[in-house]
Amino acid sequence: MTPIPHLADAAWLKSGAAARLLALLNGDGEEARAIGGAVRDALWKIPVGEIDIATTALPEEVMRRVAASGGRAVPTGIDHGTVTAILDGRPFEVTTLREDVETFGRKARVMFGRDWKTDAERRDFTINALSASPDGTVHDYVGALDDISARRVRFIGEPRRRIEEDYLRILRFFRFHAYFGNGAPDAAGLHACISERGGLGTLSRERVRMEMLKLLLAPHATPTLAVMAESGLLGMVFGGIGYLASFENLVKVEAATGAEPDAVRRLGAIGVWVAEDAERLTERLRLANAESDRLLALENWWRIAPDAEKQPARALLYQLGPRAFGDRVLTAWARSQAGAADASWRALADLPRHWTAPAFPLKAADFTRRGVVAGPALGAVLRAAEAVWIGDDFPLDHAALEAIADRAARSATGASRDKVSRE
């Protein structure tokens, strides 16, 4: 059995808003501890983000103590015992200990309790059930420390029962394994996820989207996604094929170019080959409009190739904008035969860093003073002039712009005269 560790060196337990909150919630017959991810991450020596608090105090008492200390308390989920306490401008989720009275998924009826072991046993994974007292003492009621040592993601108790309480735990199992797991996923947990996979269809698309976008950014996303694909789960989520090689190569290309890992770009790499794929993923995951637009902009990725001629690449950058251009180039690179160190692809991907597309300098007035009548014809001549300007590689000198405007205006007025004569 793994020895009980101590978080004596955790600075956030000694000072700051979290330590202050724990101090004001402890005492007068009540106890409060840090719970879940903060304790897990501290034991793994990785940066601690959100710090959640569990307490024996009832929500009303939590709110009273926070307010009395000069902080602010918001009853964000008070029916389930959750209060958001804001101290020194930092929010903390504070939840009263609970125990299940009746279990039927996310709508389980619960009652408040004072038993730390009972509260721990109703959580999802062992590594998320650890708690720490303000003095750094770590409490483990579910065998989590052995899993921390082995870097193993394991359901608490019977995996199928944990999943039936909330089918999102199937995706959370894979997400946590992709971030923290070592080697193959826990066999019992994987078997339960496969057996209960039909429950994925009961989840809201927004919850599925959130979990999958987080998973795609995990350090060990590729092998985890491969297990999901082999198990038939990835196809159920995406409703189509997962292009794992494309995904893995994109991760390598991002690293080689210094590009920030991006969940939507990675979703495109693993799930979008043609426009219909983008439309399907948008529907299945209820993507935001901006996310959907980025996937749709991957269309024609297969036409991208590094080229000595800069003008076509500049034209594409002007058309798409820097982010969509980067998405398309990196995706095409990941699907090419070139490696992540290829210099020509790197130069193409670096174009937005070295060249900023100018705004089209010609305006409507430049054409109305040349005799083009306002209306549909004016819009058409502006578009035609812009196309010529792009084809000439974005000239900005006055003489070149005047020549483009003259040519477009003559073409428009000439076409208008021809139409009148025919009529």
- Two structure tokens written together for 14: 């000694």
pLDDT tens-digit series, residues 96-111: 999 866 655 555 566 8
Using alpha carbons, select from 69, 67, 50 the residue that is nearest to residue 59: 67
Q: How far is CA 290 from the centre of its chain?
A: 13
Total number of domains in the chain = 2
Residue that terminates a domain, selected from 150, 179, 196: 150
Mean per-residue pLDDT, 257-274: 97
Please check whether residue 105 lies inside any domain of the structure.
yes
Identify whether 72 is part of a domain. yes
Structure tokens at 185: 């996923």
Count of CB atoms within 10 A of residue 311's CB?
13
- How much is the pLDDT for 104? 53
Report how far residue 322's alpha carbon sits from residue 356's, in angstroms, rounded to the nearest whole number: 9
> Is pLDDT at 418 greater than 80 in this prediction?
no
Phi, psi of 75 (to 5 degrees): -80, 70
Does a structural domain hold residue 119? yes
DSSP 3-state of 235: helix
> How is residue 27 written in tokens?
């005492």
Q: What integer pLDDT is reported at residue 314 of this predicted model?
A: 94
Residue that the structure tokens 């100018």 belong to: 358
Average pLDDT of the chain? 92
Position 65 in a domain: yes
- DSSP for 97-122 reads -EEEEE-BTBT-EEEE---HHHHHHT
Among 150, 165, 193, where does a domain finish?
A: 150
CA 45/CA 190 separation, integer angstroms: 27
Q: Give yes or no for residue 9 having a pLDDT over 50.
A: yes
What's the number of CA atoms in the CB half-sphere (13 Å) around residue 294? 21
pTM of the model: 0.88
> What is the reported pLDDT for 402?
95
Q: Which domain holds residue 27?
A: 1-150
User: Residue 286: inside a domain, yes or no?
Assistant: no
- CATH number for the domain that contains residue 85: 3.30.460.10
State phi, psi for 128 to the nearest 5 degrees.
-100, 5
- Domain-ending residue, one of 123, 150, 177: 150
Which residue carries 């894979």 as its tokens? 174
Share of residues in the chain with pLDDT > 90 (%): 85
Residue 18 has pLDDT above 70, yes or no: yes
